[in-house]
Amino acid sequence: MQRKASSGVQGKGGRDRLAYVVDEDSLRIQRAHLRARKRIEVETDALFLNASGRRLSTQGIANVIAKLRSDAGIERPVTPHMLRHTVATLLLRNGVDIRVVQESLGHASIATTQRYTHVAKEHLIGVLRKSHPSLTLRAES
């Protein structure tokens, strides 16, 4: 049985967000990071640090993602917001309740999360157009 871990992290605006690790490899990497992080004596309790031992900034995170994108040979820009949007959209496409997505993204208002349903609805319409039972009935007539 796979073990899953979840914990709260503080996001933008001091709002708590749900962090959920879904596979053993990610959990192993996270645990190794936490062990290494505990050995670093700095004044912040931040999970991710920059080279100066301070909390990794929003721009620092964007720089890390840009480096990973470049190293992977991806030419198109990738931003932290794009990753959040992708995760939210995939969760909704796969039937996750919008309230769960709202909590995981740390949105105070469901209206903010509903922005992501537009893309999910487009996907749903496409799937229905391809595989709705009425298409089979029409083909058999």
- For residue 35, what pLDDT is reported? 94
CB-CB neighbours of 47 under 10 Å: 15
Which DSSP category does 115 fall into? T
Q: At residue 3, does pLDDT exceed 70?
A: no
Terminal-residue alpha carbon distance, the chain: 47
What is the value of pTM for the model shown? Answer: 0.66
pLDDT tens for 110-124 read 998 888 777 667 777
pLDDT tens for 18-63 read 677 788 999 999 999 999 999 999 998 888 999 999 999 989 999 9
Residues with Cβ within 8 Å of 34's Cβ and at least 6 positions away in sequence, in order, are: 47
Cβ-in-10-Å burial (0-12, 13-18, 19+) of 113 comes to: buried
Torsions phi, psi for 49 (to 5 deg):
-115, 155
Of 103 and 11, more confident: 103
